Every structure is written in structure tokens, then in C-alpha cells.
Amino acid sequence: MDNKQSLELVVKAADSKRAEGIIALDVHEISTLADYFVITSADSNRQVAAIADAIIEKAKENDVEIRRIEGYRAAEWILIDLGDIVINVFQTDQRKFYNLEKLWSEAKNVEIVDWITE
């Protein structure tokens, strides 16, 4: 599975749990950390955990290596490191506070509209 296919898998998994404001950023030209960052949010800790669980489950089902998971216990900001893809699942207030979209504003947005159900 290539990085783009893994990215699609992640976005669809997040969307399946009603993640809000899903964006995918292509950061490979501006960062050595990863090729893609995914940022999404939900209004409650329970929903944040459910989104993270769906992503983790799909990654495992498809033999995508999970390098690290941070913040799961508090479920205010869960970071899932899949190596070339880093996923940030925020509680809505935390997303506004940290504003990663602004931090990575030089990154190109990946077109994900076809992967998200209306």
C-alpha cells in the first residue's frame, strides 16, 4: 500500500466516525517528519477516541505500521504516527487553540472530497 492509499484509508476511517473538518496536508516538501499530516476534530473526548480507534483499526487491518500513539488517555489531542502520515485528532477547542493549519500554512492541501461522504 503506497502513502496515498494509506492517506485515503485514514481519511475514510475518520469520516466513518463523523470526524469534523478533515484536512490532509502534503508536507513532504517542507518537513522531514512526514509526507502527509491529517488534522480533524470532534466535540467530545469520546468522539475523539472513537475516531482514533477507527484509524488504528483500519491501519492494523491493512498492515500499516503504527509507530506511536500519543494522548489517547486524555483524548483531547490524539496523535497517531504512521511514519509517512501523521494524524492529529483534536477535541474542537484544542484544535482552535493549537491551530496547526496556520503552523503548516505553506503545505499544499490534498484533495480529499471524493473520500468523504456528505
Q: 1: how many CB neighbours lie within 10 A of its CB? A: 11
pLDDT digits (tens, 9 = 90+) for 71-92: 999 999 999 999 999 999 999 9
Global confidence as pTM: 0.94
Q: How far is CA 19 from CA 42, 63, 116, in A?
A: 6, 23, 10
Q: 9: how many CB neighbours lie within 10 A of its CB? A: 20
Average pLDDT over residues 30-45: 95
Provide the residue count of the chain. 118
How many angstroms separate the CA atoms of 38 and 100, rounded? Answer: 10
Inform me whether the pLDDT recorded for 118 exceeds 70.
no
Residue that the C-alpha cell 505500521 belongs to: 65
